[in-house]
Chains A and B, each alone.
Chain A
Amino acid sequence: MAAQHSIQLPADDIRAVWQSAGLSNGVLGGLRSAALDEFLHAGLPGTRNESWKYTNIKRLADELTDYLQYKAPAEPDGSAALDLPDAIHLTFVDGVFSPERSDQKGLPDNVKLTSLADLAEAEPATLQSLFGRLARTHDSALVALNTAFAGNGVALVIADGTTLARPVCITYRSSQANAAAQPRLLVSLGQGSKATVVEHFCSAHPVFVNPVAELHCAADSSLDYYKLQAEHAETWHTAVQYIAAENNARIRTTHVDYGGALARNELKLALKGRGAHAESRGLFMADGTRHVEARLDVRHEAPDTTSRERYRGILAGRARGVFNGRIYVGQDAQKTAAELTNRNLLLSKGAEINTKPELEIYADDVKCAHGSTTGQLDATSLFYLLSRGVDKPTARNMLITAFAAELLTDISVPIIAELARNALESLQADTGGIRT
């Protein structure tokens, strides 16, 4: 029995596929089994569901059983890891952690990097304290799906007071078409610890990628999180990250999205402790007939919490973009300050954006603002550049690059800004029905 507004799924077929995939063993097996029931009960969300209004995954639902059919990961194809010589590189293939393709040596003593299967054996209590604590299967059908079909994921546990100077870079690759990847990442930052985490999605085949990340940030910790979504042009990508910040934790998130046929990212950030602070920025780009959605849900649950969210979209061709940003301020979250902005650039007549910034405030002493603008390149700026002798295509490129570059300053992983620039260049090539 599917829930209201959801897409009917062939429950018996999916259950049979799940059973044949051998996912029912061990500590994770129990969690998976419960999640499968939840998923089949919920079904996939349809467009009558408010948060899926502009993103239609009916076609994914039709093919879901085939995607979920177990396929043993093979040798991955396509792009290798990001050029980050200092990083600790981890690799997932078809959604499953691949230790033989990952660096696990040379980690500081206070940093634990382990597969979820190993963690479940060695420290089931630690696993239980991190897994599914933020990502609740009954809140989201896609979290339930991930949990039900999650192969071996990875956990990064950083002890109190430890600074991990090297970034941890996780590359999510594919080895075959029509596979479903359900990667799971757990991160725990101990009190006063510091880390940089980079997630890089770069499937080389048309696949379905449904990642869930849970990041726990203890008091006074500092997290610099990056996500680069550069999936294959026919890939379905539906990701969610949960981040919980305790007292005075400092969170910074940077999302860059330019791949996939349909890509949706949801960032759920909870400022749970007094004085926690979050800076979130996102750049999403699409051309052709791609569909991209950026969702943001920031919860201020404690006093003196502050956040700033800046998202920018650039859409070309006949691409469609969706932005939904919500700032929630709970009753106890006095002295909250939050500022949410979304700016979008439409480069062609056929491109489209639906944007909805929202504030939901239950405290009375707060300072919150939100705003959204959508437009074309500024004609006055363009004329200014032309009047200096810069030709029109160059002037346009300068303005488009500037629109993105303004957001991507102060990046500790510069390769991401470089890749975003490259993506912008190919985006500009899609001049179908150009404006001005």
Chain B
Amino acid sequence: MIIDISNLHASVNGTEIIKGLNLQIGPGEVHAIMGPNGSGKSTLAQTLAGKSDYEVTAGTVTYKGADLLALEADERARAGLFLGFQYPVEIPGVSNVYMLKAALNARRKAKGLAEIDSVEFMRFVREKAKLMQLDQSFLSRGVNEGFSGGEKKRNEIFQMAVLEPDLAILDETDSGLDIDALKVVANGVNAQRDGERAFLLITHYQRLLDYIKPDYVHVLANGRIVRSGTHELALELEANGYDGVLAAAG
């Protein structure tokens, strides 16, 4: 088991958003969480990543056998958890490559590996940038500085490819992408599927799942998973809408 979430309750500013959520993800699995706006999708992603203003009030999260909730956000990342942001942040003055090198070396150190050699690092990131069809000039630019919406999302997947996480949580990585950009992003994710690495895709639309085939699909409503199924469930959502599926779920 990569992650085992049990009876998770989480609040933001005193308002409970996640209300008793259970989810297990095994190695190599791709899970998709779908749900209407306000169902708690992004809160779940940010809570798992360790955002400090998200308070866990009950439940447990076991990640690779350890208590995830006892770790700070940076420790979770170094332990191989990656969050692809719905709204990637622009950080002018910190170059992409500088941030990535610091991040990668921090992760390597946590694994007991030596710092990566600079030449080797550049070769590695160039290869990954090429995969995501990001121009080499993006590497030296400020993090997401002046990037278009699509470029930002590609940059998230690029970072994921460089950091090689054990569990990648991708929060609405498909939103705001045209079909070509969606394919690039999906290719980037699929290239990272190796039978070990697990993915949690958070999305509003089933369109992404045409390109990244999930093993399981869950419907999140009002802070809980109300239905789980296979890819068929996503197609049912597409056909009947959330209202229809939620009504059927009672």
Contact = CB atoms under 8 A, between A and B. Distances in A.
Contacts of B143: 384
B50 A386 contact: yes
Contact of B93 (A383, A395, A405): A405
A25 interface: no
Contacts of B99: 385, 388, 390, 398
Nearest to B104: A389
A390 B93 contact: no
Contacts of B93: 401-406
Contacts, number: 78
Given A386-B50, A398-B98, 5 more contacts: A389-B104, A391-B74, A392-B72, A398-B91, A398-B94
A403 B91 CA distance: 9
Interface in B144-169: 159, 163
B77 A398 contact: no
Nearest to A406: B93
Given A380-B89, A381-B89, A398-B99, A386 B94 contact: no
Contacts of B102: 388, 390, 394, 398
Interface in B82-127: 82-83, 85, 88-89, 91-94, 98-100, 102-104, 106-107, 110
Contacts of A387: 49-50, 73-74, 76-77, 82-83, 85
A399 interface: yes
B15 interface: no
A386 B88 contact: no
Contact of A384 (B52, B76, B91, B104): B91
B207 interface: no
Contacts of B98: 398
Contact of B163 (A385, A389, A398, A404): A389
Contacts of A385: 91, 94, 99, 103
Contacts of A406: 92-93
Contact of A391 (B85, B94, B100, B106): B106
A388 B163 contact: yes
A383 B94 contact: no
Given A399-B91, A399-B94, A389 B106 contact: yes
B51 interface: yes
Nearest to B165: A389
Interface in A95-130: none
B78 interface: yes
A119 B41 CA distance: 76
Contacts of A394: 102, 106
B161 to A, nearest CB: 13
A390 B104 CA distance: 9
A193 to B, nearest CB: 34
Given A391-B106, A394-B102, A398-B102, A386 B74 contact: yes
Interface in A359-389: 378, 380-381, 383-389
A250 B163 CA distance: 47
A402 B110 CA distance: 26
A387 B110 CA distance: 15
8 contacts: A381-B91, A386-B74, A386-B77, A387-B50, A390-B103, A390-B106, A402-B91, A404-B93
A343 to B, nearest CB: 12
B44 to A, nearest CB: 15
Contact of B85 (A384, A404, A405): A384
Nearest to A383: B51
B153 to A, nearest CB: 14
Interface string A404-422: 1110000000000000000
A267 B99 CA distance: 36
Contacts of B100: 388
Contacts of A384: 85, 88-89, 91, 143
B78 A389 contact: yes
B73 A386 contact: yes
Contacts of A388: 77, 99-100, 102-103, 159, 163
Contacts of A391: 74, 106
A391 to B, nearest CB: 5
Q: What are the 8 closest A-B residue pairs judged by CB atoms, nearest first?
A: A402-B93, A389-B77, A388-B103, A386-B73, A384-B89, A386-B74, A406-B93, A389-B78
